[in-house]
Amino acid sequence: MIKPRIGIRPTIDGRWGGVRESLEEKTMAMAKSAAELISGSLRYPDGTPVECVISPTTIGGGAEAAICEDFFASQNVVATLTVTPCWCYGSETFDMNPRTIKAVWGFNGTERPGAVYLAAVMSAYAQKGLPAFSIYGQDVQDLNDNSVPADVQEKILNFAKCAAAVGWMRNKSYVNMGAVSMGIAGSYCNESFFQKYLGIRAEWVDLTEILRRIKLEIYDPAEYEKALAWIKANCKEGYDKNAGKTLPEIITKSKVVPPDEDWAFIAKMTVIIKDILFGNPKLNQLGWHEEALGKNAVAGGFQGQRHWTDWLPNADFTEAIMASTFDWTGPKEPVAFATENDTLNGVSMLFGKLVSDTAPCFHDVRTYWSPQAVERVSGKKLEGAAAGGFIHLVNSGASALDGTGAAKDAAGSGCMKPWWDMTPADIKACLEATEWSRADYGYFRGGGFSSNYKNVAEMPVTLLRVNMVDGIGPTLQIAQGHTVLLDDKTHDALDQRTDPTWPTTWFVPELTGEGAFKDVYGLMAVWGANHGVTVYGHVGDRLLTLASMLRIPVALHNVPAGQVFRPHAWAAFGTECAEAADYRACETYGALYK
């Protein structure tokens, strides 16, 4: 597979006889600097460097633009970065391919008018209906200075990271395991949204396929044994909520897999679901050629409740370990795999993973705890970051184990890491911070285990959610904030009121004093659904850029204005209210693959 690449287009003043010749070296130096910056700084989700290709010629006019386009067509170029230190002929040199995402870096120097070309070509792109990102350094550089200023680097990397994410999703599949869970609207897969906005194919797999593969032993037995042994060695069992209870017959007779066989069933189920999503050449060796292919997935979700969990072990372990940066094979790429097959939260997991390189943590956006309510229930007066209250992020049994915050950065602080940076010590710490509690048989008659943890570190995180709104289409919500720590007594007093077998994160958004971010309650009051996703770090700026590429308007965010990077044409839709301009621009341009 050719990975999605960034094509670098060095444009130049086309006048031969001294002008063009004098600019060749500088123009190509800019192209090479940009390519080196991108490949040396960014990685694909599989951990390999983002790849760039440079036009075989500088581009002084339409003929050379065509040569460049023919070359890029063979290289799976998803986005182009045009670079120039000088004046060029705008409509003759610009990228007119409607399928590529576009940016232009105009060199800020006084010797040649690179900035003039940048302004001219942005005007051309706007007139042609081809949104493009404008990149221009704040400080004037000398013509012989081939360095890339820090502010230019930031925009180039933001653009390239998000463009690579668009390309990574394209022509892959979202795999619906099962159907709709408990009437949750997000579980209704909108295949038109996946196709037109993301370039993703929607596929469905009935949950009976898992049972077929278990019965016919359509899985790699060696991997199953390895997974089960790893689970028994590393996944410690915790609190059993069912112990000592007299359960009604409707529950006891529904537990068809004996409790002591739950882990074996879950290990097989997890191995099989991985195979369904991504394929497995070992199955080909076993004679299962069709099954070996997989579904070319980039994300998926598991219905679970209730047609599965009313009689079979839940998929909480599967969902948690798929989304984590490790499993029995060691460090591995996390998978956006949604609880209750909430497809919109699955997309949110995918967006978050692609821009942050960290595990996406699935949550119920469960409860706003005011300072007054916390003090009434626990006797604790909140202070510090939690003084204004917080939101209880929890999930009905599953969330990536990285969400514990047990991994350590270079300074020894709790964090979440890209999978390629996870050490054996990090993996061990995340496992030790997690208990696997017996599923509550009242909710999950078929049993299973839930990932039970509380976040053990205060970390910067970004909460996000994609929503579908009739009359608008998809929208995105973004809230940068931090996890907060509660002492054990306060945590227990609050956590016991929900379900103490589930993973808990206490979250506080960064407040701006305005709109949804006037206070913590304000965010909770306008959150668009019962689910959301957190990823590590403050990556709202990249989410904003990605959303603009996909033409998804952002309904709310608390990203500082100076960090917002959208196509230049967005300013033509208004500059006083950027939120309204974003809605109008997305409506005007329409879905990326419409």
Taking CA atoms, 582 is separated from 63, 95, 210, 465, in Å, by: 35, 23, 43, 17
Strands 201-205 and 173-177: parallel
- Edge-to-edge strand ranges of the sheet holding 237-240: 237-240, 435-438, 449-452
Among the listed residues 340, 402, 435, 440, the single catalytic one is 340
- Edge-to-edge strand ranges of the sheet holding 77-84: 52-54, 5-10, 77-84, 101-106, 132-135
Torsion, CA 385, CA 391, CA 395, CA 398, rounded to 10: -10
The separation between CA 114 and the C-alpha centre of its own chain, rounded to angstroms, equals 35
Rounded distance, CA 525 to CA 484, Å?
20
Active site residue 582: no
CA atoms within 13 A on the CB side of 495: 23
Rounded distance, CA 561 to CA 217, Å?
55
- Edge-to-edge strand ranges of the sheet holding 173-177: 201-205, 173-177, 297-302, 336-339
Residue with tokens 């209210």: 577
Q: Are 42 and 157 in contact (CB under 8 A)?
A: yes
Taking CA atoms, 480 is separated from 131, 477, 509, 517, 553, in Å, by: 27, 10, 6, 10, 17
Please count the other Cβ atoms lying within 10 Å of the Cβ belonging to residue 256: 12
The separation between CA 236 and the C-alpha centre of its own chain, rounded to angstroms, equals 29
Please count the other Cβ atoms lying within 10 Å of the Cβ belonging to residue 16: 9
Contacts of 246 (CB under 8 A, 6+ apart): none
CA atoms within 13 A on the CB side of 10: 22
Rounded distance, CA 554 to CA 579, Å?
7
Rounded distance, CA 502 to CA 542, Å?
30
Total residues belonging to the chain:
594
Query: What ranges make up the beta strands (E) of 237-283?
Result: 237-240
Q: Are 173 and 296 in contact (CB under 8 A)?
A: yes
Please count the other Cβ atoms lying within 10 Å of the Cβ belonging to residue 200: 23
Rounded distance, CA 514 to CA 171, Å?
40
Q: Let me know the angle formed at the C-alpha of 299 by 170 and 316, rounded to the nearest 5 degrees.
A: 175
Q: Are 201 and 291 in contact (CB under 8 A)?
A: no
Active site residue 364: yes
Rounded distance, CA 165 to CA 150, Å?
22
574 φ/ψ sector (left φ>0, alpha ψ -120 to 50, else beta): left
DSSP state of 381: P
Query: What ranges make up the beta strands (E) of 283-412?
Result: 297-302, 326-327, 330-331, 336-339, 361-369, 390-394, 407-408
Among the listed residues 13, 316, 327, 364, the single catalytic one is 364
Q: Are 334 and 319 in contact (CB under 8 A)?
A: no
For the annotated catalytic residues, the residue numbers are 340, 364
